[in-house]
Amino acid sequence: MSTVDLTGQVALVTGGAGGIGAAVVRRLAKLGARVVVLDLDAAGAHRVASAFGGLAIAGDVTDPETMPAVVAQVEGECGRLDVVHLNAGIGGGQSGVDALDVARYRRLVGVNVDHVVHGVCAAVPALRRQGGGKIVITASLAGLTAMSSDPLYTLTKHAVVGYARAAGKALAGENITVSALCPGFVDTLLLGAAKEEFDAVAFPLLTPSDVAEAFESVLAGGGPGEAWIIQPGGKASRYEFRGVPGVGGGQMPPDVVLGI
């Protein structure tokens, strides 16, 4: 039996029309939450939300005005906001180490990084009004290691992990928990043509349901600024960051607060 009970609470999922987002919507509804599904795909958002009595909102998360407007709509129509899953994401789709398609690069950063910052900044005041809440950001193992097949995607996910770690510590005293979820390769449309290559060598992939289960584990036990990993055949677990050398050669803790 789950240790998470969201009865009477309201959850917002970005990129909720398919893949990981849709699986998390199902999981949140099962836990008792009323779920708001935000996606660029209006029809997909409506399809997923309507299956669970939720609210569908269409919007472009790269627009700085979208997340504040969505949070205001959620509070206006649902009365509160308790859980936020900043899940929308796209792949880089180019090498990122020679010729650069600037428009595609800006779109990548807009979805994978800007939307997370806009989402946290919009959600925090609403969570404060409830006395606290949870924000889980979909990152990737590419946020913890180098994925040479997509350096730009790696860049954005490293940024997301670093932001979650710092924002999580900054908000911990307000009972607002910010955590990052870092799955390995997941069988979704984001894989694109790589899916055939994985299938050809029988490479194990996570399912969206696997990630949704890991998401619930983060809700149940995730601490401020933590990154959680999930790989095929395993259970979700905290990633242990190493410290860095400090002044005079000593070891600096991984989450040291610098008074600069």
Residues carrying an active site annotation: 153
DSSP conformation class of 150: -
76 phi/psi in degrees, rounded to 5? -70, -40
Distance CA 176, CA 170 (A): 9
β-sheet bridge partners, residue 137: 86, 180
Q: What is the dihedral of CA 183, 175, 257, 242, to 10 degrees?
A: -30
- Contact yes or no for 109/60 (Cβ under 8 A): no
Per DSSP, the residues of 25-74 read HHHHHHTT-EEEEEES-HHHHHHHHHTTT-EEEE--TTSTTHHHHHHHHH
Place of tokens 């180490």: 97
